[in-house]
């Protein structure tokens, strides 16, 4: 450990030069970049928080919409069910009415036919009776005179 003034002075000068170099070329760009990155990260964090909140809101909204849609769908299904029941009921009612109508018409037709047949039968019977009686009695009976009697007879059949 010998003394060396020049080394002391030289070291001080060297030191100052290096401080100057660090101050000029190293420190400002690095601290600037670090500050910029810090801001970027802060912005990024803020954005992500905002995005998270937006996502929460959107999810809540979506849930609301979904719930509403489910409710509406339920309503629609219910309406449809009742409507279909109603339609079925109506159809059944109209079918019953149609059936009754057709049955009634058929009955009426049958009755008409029966009556006609009976009428015809009656007339034929009267004729037959008259013819029979005429054959039995032969000319004794005037067809005209017994007509009334024969009609009464036929009506009782």
Partner 1 sequence: MASGIEQSEASVEAGASVGQAALGNSADASAELTGFAGWWAQTKDRASFVWNEQAEAGDFVRHHITNLRPAGADPMDPFVWHYDTMVVSWVLGTVFVVALAIAARKVTAGEPGKWQNFVEMLVDFVDNTVKESFHGPRNFVGPLALTIFGVVFLWNLMDLVPVDYVPTVMYIVGFDYFRIVPSADINATFGLSITVLGLMLLYGVKGHGLLGYGKELFTHPFGANPLLWIPNFMLNVVEMISKTVSLAMRLFGNLYAAELIFILIALLPWWIQFIPGGAWAIFHILVVPLQAFLFMSLTIVYLALAYEKH
88-107 residues near partner 1, rule: CB under 8 A: none
Q: Is 25 in the site for partner 1 (CB under 8 A)?
A: yes
Q: Based on CB atoms, which residue is closest to partner 1, 18 or 71?
A: 18
Q: Is 23 in the site for partner 1 (CB under 8 A)?
A: yes
Residue pair 143/131 in contact by the 8 Å Cβ criterion = no
Residues 51, 86: Cα–Cα separation, whole Å = 51
Estimate the share of the chain in helix, then strand, then coil, as percent rounded to the nearest 5: 95, 0, 5
Residues 82, 84: Cα–Cα separation, whole Å = 5
Min dist. Cβ of residue 32 to partner 1 (A): 8
Q: Tell me, what DSSP letter sits at residue 143? A: T
Q: Is 27 in the site for partner 1 (CB under 8 A)?
A: yes
Min dist. Cβ of residue 42 to partner 1 (A): 12
Task: State the residues that interact with partner 1 by CB under 8 A.
Answer: 1-12, 14-19, 21-23, 25-34, 36-37, 40
């Amino acid at each position: 450990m010998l003394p060396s003034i020049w080394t002391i002075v030289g070291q001080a000068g060297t030191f100052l030069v290096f401080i100057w170099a660090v101050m000029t070329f190293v420190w400002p760009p690095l601290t600037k970049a670090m500050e910029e990155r810090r801001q970027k990260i802060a912005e990024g964090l803020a954005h992500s928080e905002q995005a998270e909140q937006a996502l929460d809101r959107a999810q809540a909204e979506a849930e609301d919409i979904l719930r509403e849609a489910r409710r509406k769908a339920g309503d629609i299904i219910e309406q449809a069910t009742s409507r279909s029941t109603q339609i079925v009921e109506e159809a059944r009612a109209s079918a019953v009415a149609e059936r009754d109508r057709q049955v009634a018409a058929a009955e009426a037709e049958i009755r008409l036919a029966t009556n006609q047949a009976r009428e015809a039968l009656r007339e034929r019977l009267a004729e037959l009776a008259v013819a029979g009686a005429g054959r039995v009695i032969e000319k004794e009976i005037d067809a005209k005179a017994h007509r009334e009697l024969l009609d009464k007879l036929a009506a009782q059949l």
